[in-house]
Structure 1
Amino acid sequence: MKTTQENIFSSKTLSYFLQLSDTMNYTQAAQILGITQPALTQQIKKLERTVGAPLFYSVGKKLRLTEAGHTMLRTTHDIYELLNEATDEIQQSSSETTGEINLGILASIETRVLQAFAIELYKEYPDLTISFHMLTRKEIWENLENNKIDLAIMYLPDSSIKNWQPYSSKKILSDELMYVHHQPELKDRKYIRFKDVTDSPWVIYPQNYFLNATLHDAFKNQMVDFPKIAGRFTLPEQLLNFAIHANTATALPVSFLKGINSDFLEQQNTWMTTLEPKVQLDLSFVFRKNKNEIPRIKFFLDAFDKYLKDEDYLSRLEKIATKDKTK
């Protein structure tokens, strides 16, 4: 016969509970989990019967955690923290050039330099597997918390993240968003102010994406209304393609634009100009504290440092773009 502890921990119930606690919406949580709403409701009721108290209550259409729910949430996070620490401790005795490293990469980031590095690393250390996972910012934080990815590659700073205590970061390069447009009279301008970029419609990132929020904050800080939105896309190449062919404006990271041949942009009557004030970002590794003490993670980070010391990120990106042009 199963014990009470086994009833709680031998299923996906805690994962379901965490997801519902995050969304506070049965329909949304069920969609994210890939199950039906009745199945989610059944699992939550099962957990409530096991602990002997309701974990949620409703105020109108809004869901809230009960006192018991807050206790369960805090305890569940503690359990995951202990499991993550145990996993890290075990992995710290592993070899630095074997095993798998899971990278969670913000979907709006240009990855060709990272891909080139992974290829070089594989050629020399074939027993070290590098896995790329292109994710939203929300997915990155969830996967970091659940130890499903080792290193996140994302833009900082991010004011939406309130609890940085369990995490560390390591900057890869300083980046900024550039105004991409079809106005030849601006191509030789050093900068352009936000109030002067609203005439044309813009194509931008999806609403729940970090760079979308960053752009909207930049316009808001300058007390300028955001331009009309013509479309939304995830990847920078999608945004550029739409901007070129639909004759719209956009904003793209320098770390992406350096990989686009300037002759190609000129041929498309497309140019880039610095926004004033600049929208600056740091492309960074983010990881759980002490994760960099695991031999293969430390080896990866040290090897990437050496890779960029030999030739910096943007120079490598420009070289890749030139090589692609000659193919």
Structure 2
Amino acid sequence: MPKTDTILSAKSLHYFLQLIDTMNYTQAAQILGITQPALTQQVKKLEHAIGAPLFGQMGKKLYLTEAGKEMETAAVELLNTINGVVSDIQEYTQADKGNISVGILNSLQSNIFYQFLGEFNKKYPDVTFTINYFDHKELWRRLDTNQVDMAIMYLPDNTKKEDTNLRHQYNYESFYDDKLVILTHKTTFEAGESYPVSRFVNRKWVAYPDNFYLTPLMHGYFGKKNKPIIPIKIGSTKELIKMAENSDYDTILLLHNPIMTPIVMKLIQPI
């Protein structure tokens, strides 16, 4: 092991900076809880490693040499780096501290998750959360590149593998199961009943934008031959429902949505 690896330890740098604070060997040794000869020896070892004196003396007063000033700046930076690394390691190894980055699908109503966060925070007040909303493709990308620690989305996943780099395998837990529903103005349907998609092929729709989860899922149910007619696309669930209520357009949503006020609610199933 090189000599500098032994000399430039966190302890020796700490001793060096403490001596700068007091500019007095006796006082610095007392603060550090060591003997004055031990402190003097550590400083001499540092000077030997650097190849230049770190302190000068004028009468009984110490002063920093130019090499000492350079070493002071380096010692502060090195100790800050060491302390930062130690803090990060402790944060990762302590389950009750740290920050968790969460990505949520932007078309998902996450009230249950926020209820969970409230209860979790009461039990673990030192754990913080950073929450952001993304479209489906971007959410997968951030999860795959470790920019979020966990993702909340709908399954099954319909993201094309060529659109995003899904290199990893992930563990997942199910929060709840949703039912896909249609809000329709058509009066020949019974609310709460299931109908094949073929009964809706000539309807006009107000739906989420294409980068939201439900719209590609909707296209998948209808198939290429029965492409749904979607004149209006809105990214807000509340505004989506309002538009459907104030027009003759139907819309498609998920049953768990707490703000949903069905016009006529019809359950949908694939052909």
Per the TM superposition, whether the score is higher than 0.5 is yes
**Which amino acid is 2:211 matched to?**
N
State the alpha-carbon separation in 2 of the partners of residues 117 and 240 from structure 1: 27
Residue 173 of structure 1 aligns to a residue whose secondary structure is coil
Matches of 1:271 and 1:98, distance apart in 2? 48
- Cα RMSD between the aligned structures? 2.7
Q: Does residue 275 of the first structure (1) align with residue 268 of the second (2)?
A: yes
Post-superposition Cα deviations, 1:299-327, rounded to whole Å, max 9, x if no partner, equal xxxxxxxxxxxxxxxxxxxxxxxxxxxxx
Q: Structure 2 CA distance, aligned partners of 1:90 and 1:201?
A: 56
Describe the superposition over 1:241-272 as per-residue Cα deviations: whole angstroms up to 9, x where unpaired.
2211223111101221xx146xx54xxxx021
Q: Give secondary structure in 2 for the equivalent of 1:122.
A: helix
1:132 alignment counterpart: 131
Matches within 5 A, 1:111-126: 111-126=110-125
CA–CA distance in structure 1, aligned partners of residues 192 and 133 of structure 2: 35
Question: Conserved in 1, the CA contact under 8 Å of 2:137 and 2:159?
Answer: no
AA of the residue aligned to 2:231: A
Deviations 1:152-196 (A, max 9, x none): 011122243544643232222222311111234423462122121
- For the residues of structure 1 that align with 2:190 and 2:152, how far apart are their CA atoms? 31
What is the distance in 1 between the residues matched to 2:168 and 2:145?
16
2-side partners of 1:188 and 1:154: how far apart?
A: 27
**Structure 2 letter corresponding to 1:272:** M
Instruction: State whether residues 107 and 235 of structure 1, in contact with CA within 8 Å, keep that contact through their aligned partners in structure 2.
Output: no
**How many Å separate the matches in 2 of 1:243 and 1:91?**
52
Q: Does the 8 Å CA contact 2:238/2:259 hold for their aligned counterparts?
A: no
Q: Which residue number in structure 1 is paired with residue 177 of structure 2?
A: 174
CA distance in 2, matches of 1:238, 1:200: 19
The answer to whether the 8 Å contact 1:109/1:235 transfers is: no
Radius of gyration: which is bigger? 2
SS, match of residue 146 in structure 2:
coil
Equivalent-residue separation in structure 2 for 1:98 and 1:240 (angstroms): 41
Please give the alpha-carbon distance, in whole angstroms, between the structure 2 residues aligned to 1:241 and 1:91: 50
Q: Which has the higher helix share?
A: 1
Moved more, 148-157 or 224-233: 224-233
> The residue matched to 2:256 in structure 1 has which SS?
helix
After superposition, the C-alpha distances for 1:72-102 in whole angstroms (9 at most, x for unaligned) are xxxxxxxxxxxxxxxxx95784322221111
- When residues 172 and 161 of structure 1 are mapped into structure 2, their CA distance, relative to the original with a 3 A threshold, is farther
Question: Can you list the C-alpha shifts for 1:11-67, whole angstroms capped at 9, x where unaligned?
Answer: xxxxxxxxxxxxxxxxxxxxxxxxxxxxxxxxxxxxxxxxxxxxxxxxxxxxxxxxx
Task: Assess if the C-alpha contact under 8 Å between 1:195 and 1:224 holds in 2.
Answer: no
State the Cα distance separating 1:110 from its structure 2 match: 0.6
CA distance in 1, matches of 2:254, 2:188: 22
- Indicate yes or no: 2:219 matched with 1:216: yes
Identify if the C-alpha distance between structure 1 residues 92 and 241 changes in structure 2 by more than 3 Å, giving closer, same or farther: same
Structure 1: segments with no counterpart, 5+ residues: 1-88, 279-327
In structure 2, what is the equivalent of residue 108 of structure 1?
Answer: 107
- Contact kept, 8 Å, 2:92 with 2:98, in 1: the verdict is no
* Compared CA separation, residues 224 and 237, structure 1 to 2 (3 A): farther
In 2, the alpha carbon distance for the partners of 1:161 and 1:168 equals 19
The aligned runs of 1:221-232 (5 Å cut-off) are 224-232=225-233
**Whole-Å separation in 2 of the counterparts to 1:215 and 1:203:** 12
Query: In the alignment, residue 232 of structure 1 is paired with which amino acid?
Result: K
Partner of residue 79, structure 1: none
**What is the identity, as a one-letter code, of the residue corresponding to 2:136?**
R
Separation in 1 of the partners of 2:142 and 2:107? 17
Q: In percent, how many aligned pairs have the same letter? A: 28
What is the TM-score when the length of structure 1 is the normalising length?
0.50
Task: Tell me if the contact between 1:203 and 1:239 (Cα under 8 Å) persists in the aligned partners.
Answer: yes
Q: Tell me the distance in 1 between the aligned counterparts of 2:90 and 2:208.
A: 37
Residue 194 of structure 2 is aligned to residue 191 of structure 1: yes
Change (3 A) 1:112 1:93: closer
Higher relative contact order (CA 8 A, sep 6+): 1
Q: Classify 1:157/1:164 alpha carbon distance in 2 versus 1 (closer, same or farther; 3 Å).
A: farther
Q: C-alpha separation between the residues in 1 aligned to 2:183 and 2:253?
A: 7
Counterpart of 2:26 in structure 1 is none
Q: Displacement, 1:118?
A: 1.2
